[in-house]
Amino acid sequence: MKKVLQTVFTLIAIALIIGVLYFMFQERMTGKAIENQYVYTKAICNDNNFCQDYEISCSNGEVVEMTPVTGASIQHSPNWEDPRENKSEISCE
């Protein structure tokens, strides 16, 4: 009888620990933790028509980090005009 009670209490303790850990880390396990995070790239050009690609990391609608992409740059001619509407707009909306 004593061994049965020990086994029952051990199983209850393990179930409680698993339950607590599940609720503590539920967002991470279901993917909700990364729901509002994403990364995109954008070429940003300066006044001398030198354009560099950047990896832009967003979290909850804000720019977290901008990292230049190695080897992803170009020098355009002096009379080149950027055809994009939102040339230098960086947005995490």
Check residue 37 and give its pLDDT: 82
Check residue 28 and give its pLDDT: 61
Classify each residue of 25-59 as buried b or exposed e, where b means 16 or more C-beta atoms within 10 Å of its C-beta. eeeeeeeeeeeeeeeeebbbbeeeeebebbebbbe
Check residue 27 and give its pLDDT: 61
DSSP state of 33: G
For 37-85, how does the pLDDT look when each residue is reduced to its tens digit (9 = 90+)? 888 899 989 889 999 999 999 988 889 999 999 888 889 999 998 888 8
> Looking at the predicted structure, is the pLDDT value of residue 92 above 90?
no
* CA count, 13 A, side-chain hemisphere, 84: 10
Spatial separation of the C-alpha atoms in residues 53 and 70, rounded to whole Å: 8
Check residue 61 and give its pLDDT: 85
Q: How is the chain split into domains, by residue range?
A: 1-31, 36-73
Q: Show the tokens assigned to 47.
A: 């006044």
Mean pLDDT lowest for which of 16-20, 24-28, 42-46, 69-73? Answer: 24-28
